[in-house]
Amino acid sequence: MSNPLLTPIDQLVAYADIKAEHVAPAIEQLLDQAKVAVDQIAHQPHSTWDSVVAALDDATEELWRSWTIVGHLNSVINTPELRDAYNDCLPKVTEFSTWVGLNEALYRHYKALVASPEYETLKPVQQRVLNLALRDFRLSGVELQGNDRERYAELSEQQAAASQRFSENVLDSIDSWTLLVEDHGTLKGIPEDVQNAARDAAEAAGKKGWLLNLKMPCYLPVMQYAESSELRAQLYKAYATVASDQADKPKLDNSASIEELLSLRAEEAQLLGFASYAHMRLETRMADSPEQVLAFLRTLASKAISFAQADLTQLREFAQKQLGIADLQPWDMAFAAERLRQERYAYSEDEVKQYFTEPQVLNGLFHVVNRLFNVSFEATTASVWHPSVTAYDVKDPTGKTLGHLYIDLYARTGKQGGAWVNGERSRRLSADGLILPVVYLVCNFSAPQADNPALLTHDDVITLFHESGHALHALLSTVDEPSASAFSAVEWDAIELPSQFMENFCWEWPVVQQLSSHVVSAEPLPYALYEKLLAAKNFQSGMQMVRQLEFSLFDMLIHDQPQGLNISEVLKILDTVRKEVAVITPPEWHRFPHAFSHLFAGGYGAGYYSYKWAEVLSSDAYEAFEEDALTSDDGTRDTLVSATGKRFLDEVLAIGGERPAAESFLAFRGREPSIDALLRHSGMHIR
């Protein structure tokens, strides 16, 4: 039987046919082929673009494509067999990647090519690929010798294993926790669709009652709407102690993984001559130093804390006077906030959710992208990894396919929580022709029930638009070199620019009309309800901002250390950060770092500040659309300006990592970024 993981690079993969037993044979075969090819390239006599760079892409692209697929499937349809297959191959793939990065002969070819006459004849994007490669070689330890070189290789493998273990512990901890509710009265206040899903889950488990879990489509509505403070407290503590020493499954405690990762990262940075892991990571970012990042975060904090304190005061007063909650506890926060929102703005999130049916939201998203960037989405029958996944071809106005998009929207057992985008393969123009990008867009929304479509909260809609920005960055690329693609070469603290930019359209009336269709009446969201939604846009924005700043400061401080930290030191730093910027102090047993996959399993270590850094860029970029917006006779503003969209496409999306992100922003905006738009969009410019 043919192995679908060995599908030629220019063809789409039959995902439905991939089984765990395909993984090892495919990865081992591709590893063997790649090792031989890379060795031949490294020891050839010539140092030319075609014989080195293009040849290296040829030698490794099938391996990296197949490994990306395996990692993706491990994240979205995790089974014991697939997990074992992935973990068995992980050390071998890590070893190969480290070997390439430490390959001195290959490094000499790149240096020789940069010093050769050919360099001046290369396209600017090719010159950038070479210069980024030299930087990455140095950051991969190629200049290390002897024991240091061997230790670096060990560190790479150990970090990969520890990150995977962290991720598995979070997934298993969340998947294994359920709460059976047998008294229907306990569920009072929880939306009907959430109760129905819980009842279905109980039936599927052979139990009577309602089975609650910690996945967002269940957890968040319980915290927002359950009138039972005891029920909210139960779920809050379970979620706050996921994969920690405070949970009831000691083998899933991530304390040791956190300590190990911080130690390994600090040692890696020290080997490469950096003062800390944070200093090392910032070598590939827009920001220059940890000090600059900390100053940036604290500047934002200085502007946000007073708003956050005012938000909390209002919430406490409301909870005491209207809800009878004299002492507002952390598990009361979301419940009280939702009640305050309903009183202040006369709507509930559940009411709004009835208008955002998933098919209509997707159609609306495609409409927005078409208006802005003149591309369309055509559903296909491509093979998918789960029946709920949909596949699309992205087309230009002539009908030419630009790329392929897979959308996986619903939460399920065996699927990592959160939302993300990944690329199976990047666009590449080679001697054999043009390879088109293949992109995955993954979310964790509530699934459809019976004959009804899935219902999305407005926050879900924003999340979908956010991830679509990442997807478009890859799908609309005109970059011919994969090493200069968005996901390979755009600085990490600018990679969120397109995603956060797309979020803004979810607040525009013409767009909301396109996105909404009531689940029963099919009517779009009424303007009166939209006005309430818009009025509440910055509801508790101060508290939201300081929460993000708390995460970012914590991340930077634990990584700006000369050596690792034990878990008590990690928690002490978190406590110090909270005293500096937070307005809410969680209970002593709260263990948020233990499930902070962004830092310890998702590549955001010493980079979580990127969300706020890029939000400055994205808010300023969107301001250009506000400035160019068209106003209709009734005063409605339309920011879907195709001319401005084309400039954004040409200068930001299509250009990927062909040039530094600062240059792309400058080319689009015509000036340096300003913090003013972010503060205005967050409602913090006038109070």
**Per residue in 69-106, pLDDT tens?**
999 999 999 999 999 999 999 999 999 999 999 999 99
242, 259, 279 — which closes off a domain? 242
Report d(CA 57, CA 70) in Å as an integer. 20
Q: Can you name the residues that pair with 394 across neighbouring β-strands?
A: 377, 403
Q: Is residue 394 part of a domain?
A: no
Say yes or no: 68 and 190 in one domain: no
Please check whether residues 40 and 93 belong to one and the same domain: yes
Within this chain, do residues 19 and 82 fall inside the same structural domain, yes or no? yes
In whole angstroms, give the CA distance from residue 617 to residue 661: 10
417, amino acid identity: G
Same domain, 9 and 135: yes
Query: What is the domain-level CATH number for residue 9?
Result: 1.20.1050.40
**CA–CA separation, 103 and 107 (whole Å):** 6
At residue 684, the pLDDT reads 85
Q: Which of 92, 116, 139 is the last residue of a domain?
A: 139
Q: Is residue 236 part of a domain?
A: yes
On the question of pLDDT at 450 being above 90, the answer is: no
Q: Give me the residues paired with residue 180 across strands.
A: 211
Query: Is 240 in contact with 591 (CB distance < 8 Å)?
Result: yes
Q: For residue 93, which phi and psi values (nearest 5 degrees)?
A: -70, -40
Residues 77 and 202 in one domain: no
- Among the options 260, 267, 268, 467, which is catalytic? 467
How much is the pLDDT for 153?
96
Kindly state whether residue 22 falls inside one of the protein's structural domains: yes
Task: Give the model's pLDDT for residue 42.
Answer: 98
Q: Where would I find the H helices in 324-457?
A: 333-345, 349-353, 358-373
145-172 pLDDT, tens digit per residue, is 999 999 999 999 999 999 999 999 999 9
Q: Are residues 110 and 225 in the same domain?
A: no
Q: Which residues of 561-584 are buried (b: 16+ CB within 10 A; e: fewer)?
A: beebbebeebbebbeebbeebbbe
Residues 17, 77, single domain; the answer is: yes
Q: For Cα atoms 44, 46, 50, give the angle at the middle one, nearest 5 degrees.
A: 100
Residues 6+ apart with CB under 8 A from 143: none
Task: Say if residue 126 is in the same domain as residue 186.
Answer: no
Please confirm, yes or no, whether 467 is among the known catalytic residues: yes
The rounded Cα 612 to chain-centroid distance in angstroms is 14
Residue 55 sits in the same domain as residue 116 = yes
Mean pLDDT of 48-73: 98
Instruction: Specify the DSSP class assigned to residue 212.
Output: E
Using the predicted structure, report yes or no on whether residue 635 has a pLDDT greater than 90. no
Q: Which amino acid is at 112?
A: A
Rounded Cα distance, 447 and 158, in Å: 37
In contact, 411 and 446? CB cutoff 8 Å:
yes
Mean per-residue pLDDT over the chain, rounded: 97
Q: Is residue 515 part of a domain?
A: no
pLDDT tens profile 263-297: 999 999 999 999 999 999 999 999 999 999 999 99
- State which residues form the domain around 183: 177-242
Identify whether 28 is part of a domain.
Answer: yes
Q: Per the domain annotation, does 465 fall within a domain?
A: no
User: Does the pLDDT at position 687 exceed 50?
Assistant: no
Mean pLDDT confidence for 18-43: 98
Contacts of 507 (CB under 8 A, 6+ apart): 534, 537
Q: What angle do CA 117, 121, 124 make, to 5 degrees?
A: 120
Edge-to-edge, what's the strand order for the sheet holding 376-380? 376-380, 390-395, 401-410, 438-445, 420-425
With pLDDT > 70 as the criterion, what percentage of the chain qualifies?
A: 99
- Do 204 and 125 fall into the same domain? no
Q: Sorting pLDDT into bands at 50, 70 and 90, what band is 632?
A: confident
Tell whether 418 is covered by a domain. Answer: no
Q: pTM score > 0.75 for this model?
A: yes
**Total domain count, the chain:** 2
**Which residues make Cβ contacts (< 8 Å) with residue 453, sequence separation at least 6?**
357, 358, 359, 519
- The answer to the question of residue 423 being in a domain is no
Q: Write out the two tokens for 628.
A: 């160019």
